[in-house]
């Protein structure tokens, strides 16, 4: 009988506990019904764990586990064959433990997107030097096998673009705002009550979580060094129900997207609210679900959809990575040698080209529209559509007595233009005093 792959696991939170129970369930099956062992050709056995307290191990109710207080000591333990890091955080103890495991010649599986985004290249280099695997499927997209798709499934393809919905919290909030006409603040409070958003939701709703994930996908797709600081980031806190309603009327839906795309200036990486056509696959993805569209050169895009977080979904990806190790499979962590990865830099958004949705609060006085049109024309911006909406509270069929004093919402949709042109035109329009407040600008992503 082939010896089992003996696994050490650090971190027994939601995901760690789910991984432990999934492995135990497989091990408790009769040999002929142990799907994991059958597929791998050998059992995969959890033998030791590390956690903040030994009581966390006992709470699992799994007999025979050995507790190791130090995750770094567990990583280098001669009694384990592979190390799984599920503690989280971009620094120590996670980084120190993974470094110890790789230095000891042990393959590593992690779901730690922050660590891979910040130190992935250095850890991948160490894995290559030690001749072992560094697998991180669970770091992006939960149960969606997007890392293997880019790294192995399309090993012979180049890519034009990779983009997707990579944060379930933001997608849930935007979905609820649209379907129930709720404000961002109301939906955020509901998401926090349901456990979809943290007490401090900044990392999710301001786009930083998505930035880490798209930086990892950009490295896999385009061979750039993974670097979240190279990603342009905007969040969803400025989105209003009015924007979502206008998008629907224009044939779009607003999503927070992470986008990595090949341009003449290099690889552009960005995160921001985006209008996508209602008939596109990403527009159909609602709630906490994630989706990634892979756009290979030469044929139609492929969209992968699935649960992007949660214990069971993430554990599935972790165990799939362990299965590859048990089979003896070993790929370069980013699909190519680390020495072949090229440097990345922050996306030059001024050069970004595409269509734009612009919502203005136009002052109701003679010459307002002429002024707006002039400054758009000065920047060579052509308009696909102009929509003037009723003021809040204005009755159908007429104007209220105070309507002349109330700015009128105006929505502009541009043909393809540059970010720099849009920002310059809007700055001039605002300086002329013909709009109130700050314009809302949302980019339109071509399908």
Answer yes or no: are the C-beta atoms of 362 and 410 closer than 8 Å. Answer: yes
Answer yes or no: are the C-beta atoms of 295 and 315 closer than 8 Å. Answer: no
Q: Which residue out of 181, 213, 374, 446 is catalytically annotated? A: 213
Q: How far apart are CA 199 and CA 82, in angstroms?
A: 34
The verdict on whether omega for the bond into residue 283 sits within 30 degrees of 0, i.e. cis, is no
* Tokens at 340, concatenated: 């072949």
Q: How far apart are CA 175 and CA 196, in angstroms?
A: 13
CA 419 to chain centre: 23
DSSP E strand stretches across 17-71? 44-50, 66-67
CA 186 to chain centre: 23
Q: Which residues lie closer than 8 Å to 397 by C-beta, 6 or more apart?
A: none
In a 10 Å sphere around its CB, with 0-12 CB exposed, 13-18 middle and 19+ buried, how is residue 231 labelled?
buried
Q: How far apart are CA 157 and CA 348, in angstroms?
A: 26
Distance in Å from the first CA to the final CA of the chain = 52
CA distances from 212 to 86, 165, 215 (A): 17, 13, 5
| CA-derived radius of gyration, the chain | 25
Q: How far apart are CA 67 and CA 169, in angstroms?
A: 34
Longest dimension (CA), the chain: 87
* Tokens at 420, concatenated: 């720099």
| Known catalytic residue at 213 | yes
CA distances from 257 to 71, 232, 357, 438 (A): 35, 12, 15, 23
b/e 96-106 (16+ beta carbons within 10 angstroms → b): ebbbbbbeeeb
Q: Among all residues, which ones are annotated catalytic?
A: 213
């Amino acid at each position: 009988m082939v010896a089992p792959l003996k696994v050490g696991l650090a971190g027994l939170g939601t995901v760690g506990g789910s991984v432990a129970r999934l492995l135990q369930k497989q091990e408790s099956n009769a040999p002929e019904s142990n799907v994991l062992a059958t597929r791998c050709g050998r059992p995969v056995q959890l033998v030791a764990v590390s956690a903040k307290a030994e009581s966390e191990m006992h709470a699992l109710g799994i007999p025979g586990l050995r507790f190791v207080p130090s995750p770094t000591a567990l990583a280098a333990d001669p009694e384990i064959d592979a190390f799984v890091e599920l503690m989280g955080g971009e620094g120590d103890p996670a980084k120190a433990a993974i470094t110890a495991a790789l230095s000891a010649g042990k393959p590593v599986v992690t779901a730690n997107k922050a660590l891979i985004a910040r130190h992935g290249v250095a850890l991948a280099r160490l894995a290559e030097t030690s001749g072992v695997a560094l697998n991180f499927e669970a770091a992006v997209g939960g149960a969606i096998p997007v890392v293997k798709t880019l790294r192995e499934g399309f090993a012979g393809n180049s890519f034009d673009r990779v983009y997707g919905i990579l944060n379930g919290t933001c997608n849930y909030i935007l979905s609820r705002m649209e379907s129930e006409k709720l404000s961002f603040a109301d939906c955020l409070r509901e998401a926090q009550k349901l456990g979809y958003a943290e007490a401090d939701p900044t990392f999710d709703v301001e786009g930083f979580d998505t930035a880490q994930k798209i930086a990892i996908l950009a490295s896999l797709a385009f061979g750039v060094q993974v670097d979240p600081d190279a990603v342009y980031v905007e969040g969803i806190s400025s989105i209003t129900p009015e924007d979502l309603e206008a998008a629907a009327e224009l044939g779009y839906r607003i999503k927070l997207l992470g986008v990595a795309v090949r341009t003449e200036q290099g690889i552009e990486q960005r995160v921001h609210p985006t209008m996508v056509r209602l008939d596109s696959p990403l527009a159909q993805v609602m709630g906490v679900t994630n989706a990634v569209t892979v756009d290979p050169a030469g044929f139609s895009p492929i969209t992968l959809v699935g649960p992007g977080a949660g214990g069971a979904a993430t554990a599935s990806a972790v165990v799939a990575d362990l299965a590859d190790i048990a089979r003896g499979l070993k790929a370069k962590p980013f699909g190519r040698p680390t020495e072949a990865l090229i440097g990345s830099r922050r996306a030059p958004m001024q050069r970004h080209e595409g269509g734009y949705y612009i919502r203005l609060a136009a002052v109701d006085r003679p010459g307002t529209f002429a002024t707006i049109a002039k400054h758009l024309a000065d920047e060579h911006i052509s308009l696909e559509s102009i929509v003037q909406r009723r003021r809040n509270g204005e009755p159908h069929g007429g104007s209220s007595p105070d309507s002349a004093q109330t700015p009128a919402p105006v929505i502009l949709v541009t043909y393809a233009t540059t970010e720099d042109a849009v920002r310059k035109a809007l700055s001039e329009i605002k300086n002329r005093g013909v709009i109130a407040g700050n314009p809302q600008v949302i980019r339109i992503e071509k399908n």
